[in-house]
Amino acid sequence: MSELGFDTVYRYRSVSVDTLMEISTASFFASKPEFFNDPFDCGLQWLESSDEELREHLLYLDKDVNEEQLNELRDVSLSFQKTVSDEISNLGVTCFTTDPLQPLMWAHYADCHRGLCIGYAREGILANEKHFKSVKYDRPKKVTLNAIQLFRDSLESLSQALDNIVFRKLPEWSYENEWRLMVMRPEDRVISLNSTVESVTFGLKCPLKDINQVLNILRLHYFTGITKFYKVVIDENGDLTRKSIEIPKKEFT
């Protein structure tokens, strides 16, 4: 067990061509924030800098305070806002959870329990430790930034502001126990692992034909014990639990 308290992270998925490709190639795609289901996720608003703030910043830079300098600083501020906003809208994020048995996650992200849940070894997905972090559920509905203030602060402050935008969500989403992997460059959005997926858990209502299709794709990994397969069932207490799948070779179609 790692110092974080878990070794495996999971992605809930519907059964689709894209999902089958993810499983067979041990890869996944980092989505742009515009495709998230939470309209507040990764959103921000820029505070308009007052003339007084602009003047103070010019004095801070030891420059003359005149209309020309004010207009130039205002243009630089707007350009900076656009650059940061574009960076955020174009970054890639892959979402994981530490819980493979969350009923709401199965309903929202795995086709109403008809899909599956892919398990990945945590160490296998870390392209950059700094950009794999847990989500904090203390985000206000309105997140604001001030360009002039960021100018005066360090790059570390800009990095912290980015973390506050990407790795914070509203409290209502806390049941997800989410971890996020963030990539900044568009060319890095397809993330490939050095090893196969660790496990596949089929939902409570996942059709047998879909189960067999996935098992056929990964039968070599299944029979060598590299990838584990589970089926969600309801236990005697009425809770979701996972039952290991044991299927002889002759049952593969």
Kind plus residue range of the DSSP H or E element containing 10 = strand 8-13
Whole-angstrom distance, CA of residue 91 vs CA of residue 33: 8
> What pLDDT band is residue 239 in, cutting at 50, 70 and 90?
very high
229 exposure class (CB count in 10 Å sphere: 0-12, 13-18, 19+): buried
Q: Is the pLDDT of residue 223 over 70?
A: no
Q: What percent of the chain has pLDDT over 70?
A: 89
| Strand duo 45-46 + 144-145: pairing | parallel
Residue 162 domain flag: yes
Contacting residues for 36 by C-beta, under 8 A, at least 6 apart: 42, 93
Number of domains in the chain: 1
Burial 54-79 (b: 16+ CB within 10 A, else e): beebbeeeeeeeeeebeeebbeebee
pLDDT in tens, 165-205: 999 999 999 999 999 999 888 888 888 887 778 999 999 99
Unique residue bearing structure tokens 């001030």: 146
Determine the structural domain holding residue 74 and report its residue range.
Answer: 8-251
**In angstroms, rounded to a whole number, what is the distance separating the alpha carbons of residues 85 and 64?**
29
Q: Residues of the chain with pLDDT > 90: what percent?
A: 46
CA dist 223 → 119, 247, 250 (Å): 17, 9, 12
Cα within 13 Å of Cα(34), Cβ side = 7
Are 197 and 9 spatial neighbours (Cβ–Cβ below 8 Å)? no
Calpha distance 216→250 (Å, rounded): 11
pLDDT, tens digit, 9 for 90 and up, residues 81-121: 898 899 899 999 999 999 999 999 999 999 999 999 999 98
Query: Is residue 2 situated within a structural domain?
Result: no
Which pTM does this prediction carry? 0.85
In a domain, 1, yes or no: no
Q: How confident is the model at residue 59 (pLDDT cuts 50, 70, 90)?
A: confident
